[in-house]
Protein backbone atom coordinates (compact mmCIF):
# COMPACT_ATOMS: atom_id res chain seq x y z
CA UNK A 1 0.00 0.00 0.00
CA UNK A 2 1.25 3.45 -0.89
CA UNK A 3 2.00 5.84 1.95
CA UNK A 4 0.97 8.83 -0.16
CA UNK A 5 -2.57 9.98 -0.82
CA UNK A 6 -3.59 10.07 -4.49
CA UNK A 7 -5.85 13.07 -5.20
CA UNK A 8 -7.81 12.71 -8.45
CA UNK A 9 -9.59 15.77 -9.83
CA UNK A 10 -12.06 15.84 -12.72
CA UNK A 11 -14.96 17.71 -14.26
CA UNK A 12 -17.82 15.56 -15.49
CA UNK A 13 -21.02 16.21 -17.42
CA UNK A 14 -22.26 12.62 -17.75
CA UNK A 15 -23.73 10.34 -15.08
CA UNK A 16 -21.26 8.13 -13.27
CA UNK A 17 -19.74 6.92 -10.05
CA UNK A 18 -16.85 7.64 -7.75
CA UNK A 19 -15.22 4.26 -7.31
CA UNK A 20 -14.99 2.41 -4.05
CA UNK A 21 -11.96 3.20 -1.90
CA UNK A 22 -11.92 7.00 -1.76
CA UNK A 23 -10.73 8.32 1.60
CA UNK A 24 -12.20 11.82 1.12
CA UNK A 25 -14.46 13.28 -1.57
CA UNK A 26 -15.53 16.80 -2.52
CA UNK A 27 -18.12 17.52 -5.22
CA UNK A 28 -19.32 20.91 -6.50
CA UNK A 29 -22.04 21.68 -9.05
CA UNK A 30 -20.33 24.32 -11.22
CA UNK A 31 -23.28 24.73 -13.62
CA UNK A 32 -23.70 28.50 -13.28
CA UNK A 33 -25.27 29.06 -16.72
CA UNK A 34 -27.92 26.35 -17.10
CA UNK A 35 -29.10 26.26 -13.51
CA UNK A 36 -29.30 22.45 -13.52
CA UNK A 37 -29.56 20.55 -10.26
CA UNK A 38 -27.52 17.35 -10.08
CA UNK A 39 -27.96 14.46 -7.66
CA UNK A 40 -25.14 12.97 -5.62
CA UNK A 41 -25.78 9.83 -3.62
CA UNK A 42 -29.52 10.43 -4.10
CA UNK A 43 -29.44 14.01 -2.74
CA UNK A 44 -30.02 17.17 -4.82
CA UNK A 45 -26.97 19.37 -5.46
CA UNK A 46 -28.13 22.76 -6.81
CA UNK A 47 -25.85 24.98 -8.94
CA UNK A 48 -23.03 26.58 -6.96
CA UNK A 49 -23.39 24.21 -4.02
CA UNK A 50 -20.87 21.62 -2.85
CA UNK A 51 -20.80 18.63 -0.56
CA UNK A 52 -17.95 16.77 1.07
CA UNK A 53 -17.39 13.31 2.44
CA UNK A 54 -14.65 13.77 5.03
CA UNK A 55 -11.96 11.27 6.01
CA UNK A 56 -13.51 8.92 8.56
CA UNK A 57 -10.73 6.36 8.96
CA UNK A 58 -11.93 3.89 6.34
CA UNK A 59 -12.74 4.13 2.61
CA UNK A 60 -16.10 5.09 1.16
CA UNK A 61 -18.24 2.74 -0.93
CA UNK A 62 -19.23 3.64 -4.50
CA UNK A 63 -20.88 7.10 -4.69
CA UNK A 64 -23.30 7.58 -7.62
CA UNK A 65 -24.05 10.89 -9.32
CA UNK A 66 -26.62 11.99 -11.91
CA UNK A 67 -25.68 15.25 -13.60
CA UNK A 68 -29.06 16.16 -15.20
CA UNK A 69 -27.34 18.60 -17.57
CA UNK A 70 -25.01 20.08 -14.94
CA UNK A 71 -21.23 19.93 -14.70
CA UNK A 72 -19.65 18.60 -11.52
CA UNK A 73 -16.12 19.21 -10.28
CA UNK A 74 -14.97 16.21 -8.28
CA UNK A 75 -11.97 15.69 -6.02
CA UNK A 76 -11.54 12.15 -4.75
CA UNK A 77 -8.56 11.24 -2.59
CA UNK A 78 -7.51 7.58 -2.69
What domains can you pick out in the chain, each with its CATH number? 7-77 (2.60.120.10)
The gap from C-alpha 76 to its chain's centroid, in whole angstroms, comes to 7
Give the per-residue pLDDT at 60: 98
Q: Give the SS3 label for residue 28.
A: strand
Whether 11 contacts 4, CB under 8 Å: no
Q: Closest by alpha carbon to 17, among 47, 62, 74?
A: 62
Altogether, the residues listed in the chain come to a count of 78
> What pLDDT, in 10s, does the model give residues 11-68?
999 999 999 999 999 999 999 888 999 999 999 999 999 999 999 999 999 999 999 9
Whether 62 contacts 8, CB under 8 Å: no
Give the per-residue pLDDT at 34: 85
C-beta atoms surrounding 22 within 10 Å? 21
Amino acid sequence: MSVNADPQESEVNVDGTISVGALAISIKNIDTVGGNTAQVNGVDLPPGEAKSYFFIGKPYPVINYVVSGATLRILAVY
